[in-house]
Amino acid sequence: MDNIKIKHKILLIVAILGLVVIAGGLYAALSMTAIDTAYSGLLDHEEHAAIESGEAGRDLRNIMSSAFNLAFETTEAGDARMLQETLQAEQTYLQDLSAIRALVPAYAAAIDAMESKAKADFARCDGPIHHAASVTDAAAIVAAGQILRTQCEPLLHALEADQRAFTDRVVTDASKNSDDLTGQTHRTVATTLGVEGLGLGLAVLLALWIAGAKIATPLTRLSEVMRRLADNDLAVEIPDRQRGDEVGLMARTVEVFKDNALERARMEEREAAALAEREARARTIEGLTAAFDRSISSMLDTVAGASTELEATAASMAGGAEQTTQQATTVASATEQASNAVETVASAAEELSASIREIGRQVSEASTIANTAAEDAGRTNQTVRDLEATAAKIGDVVNLITDIASQTNLLALNATIEAARAGEAGKGFAVVAGEVKNLANQTARATDEIGSQIGMVQTQTQNVVEAIGGIVKRIDDISHISTAIASAVEEQAAATAEIAGNVAQASQGTALVAGTISGVSDAAAGTGAAAQQVLSSARSLSSEAEQLKSVVTTFLHDVRAA
């Protein structure tokens, strides 16, 4: 509710009142419409049914009248006409009952009972009625009339009585329903007035609550806050700022006024503090000006004295720089001569180192060749030893062949003896045995010769082995000597390289000294120039100090005047 605009609150009150009135009117209209519909139904059904029921009673009386007229009719045409009227009256009565049933379905059970009874009674009266239509003489007519009176009239009177009772019932129920509708109408009017009154009362209370609690009271609180702000009470709390209606908008606006007033007060405080600070600053500046005057005067005097001393020092520096330049020139000349000598020694050391490296390379190559020869001699020695072993094996084979030849010769001798024993039959065998014996002798001789040659080979092989062993020993000695020479050459090469390195470093150091002396000479020349510049600057500083003193005096005079 606090976030609804005041205009919308007023419209809400009007809307509530309108809704109450509309609701009451709608309730009354609906209720009266229902009552009117009920009255219309009462008039269209119950009242009409009562009228139809009365007409049904009249139809019963017409049936009775037509039946008696039929009895006293003396012509056939008259009997036929009256019979037709009587039967038509019966059908009309039954149609009246159907019409009544359609008008008041609530009475269908009673109507069905009357219809069933009427059909049964009409069936019982059909015989007497048709009999009365068939007689024409006076005596028969009287008798037929008497039959109708005794048999049909009581039945028709009973039906008429039931019909009157039904009519009275319908009329009574219609009257009761009419009274009920009248009472309902009165109750509807009373209820409508009560609901309208209650709704209007609640709407008025709600309107008073909205107008008082949600509009007037917040405005009163805000008015009191504005009065306190006007009295410069800036500590007051602004209420209802969170509301979304016009009161909240006014409260936030008042808060802006309060914030502006607070900011204005803070600005006044800051301005007062700034004024006090400016006054204190002016006093401080006055004191600092006096102190500055004293300090700057003392400092300018000191600067003037220092400038004079600086001029003397600069002149002394110029003389020292000139002397240093002369001495540096002399040292540079001597250093250049030493550098040339060192470069000569370095070149000779480099050549010596190259020669030693070449000797070392040759010795290393000789050592390598000696090692290779030693390895080849060793392999040759092994080959000769293998040859000696092979020769020994060949000797063993020759001995074996010699043994085989001896055995073969012995076998050939035995074969010859056996052939001689055999006589003529063994001659051929004796020839073969002789050939075998010759072959065995030749083999023995060849084997002896081979054994002799192998012995000589073994002797020579042994000599070769011994000679190769001596060669291998000499080669090993050469290899050891070459290794020792190579080691000595390497040590000599290392020493020579170290000498060459030291000479190179000495050459570099000499060159560095020469460069340094040259730098010293340049620095001395620069020092002389700088001394001249310092001398000039000192003189200029003295002049500037005098001018600064004059300017400071003028500045302090102006500050004090301001």
Q: Select from 357, 353, 332 the least CA-distant residue to 503.
A: 353
Each of the 562 residues of the chain gets a pLDDT tens digit; together they read: 666 766 666 777 778 877 877 876 776 677 667 665 654 555 557 888 888 888 888 889 888 888 887 777 767 788 788 888 888 989 999 999 999 999 999 999 999 999 999 999 999 988 888 888 787 777 877 888 888 888 888 998 999 999 999 999 988 988 888 788 888 888 888 888 888 888 888 878 887 888 777 777 887 888 888 888 888 887 888 887 888 777 778 778 888 877 887 888 888 889 888 888 888 877 776 776 677 667 766 765 775 665 576 567 556 655 655 664 565 466 556 546 645 654 664 575 567 567 657 746 765 775 676 577 567 757 756 765 776 676 577 567 557 767 766 776 777 677 678 767 777 766 675 676 677 677 667 766 866 775 677 677 567 657 756 765 775 576 577 467 557 646 765 775 675 567 457 646 646 754 664 565 466 457 556 656 755 775 676 567 667 667 766 766 786 677 667 6
Which amino acid would we find at residue 332? A
Q: What is the DSSP string of 185-250?
A: HHHHHHHHHHHHHHHHHHHHHHHHHIIIIIIIHHHHHHHHHHHHHHTT-TTPPPP-TT-SSHHHHH
Count of C-beta atoms within a 10 Å radius of residue 353: 20
* Rg value, the chain, Cα: 84
- Selecting from 3.40.47.10, 1.10.287.950, 1.10.10.60, 3.40.50.2300, what CATH number does the domain 277-561 have? 1.10.287.950
pTM for this entry: 0.32
- Residue 77 DSSP code: H
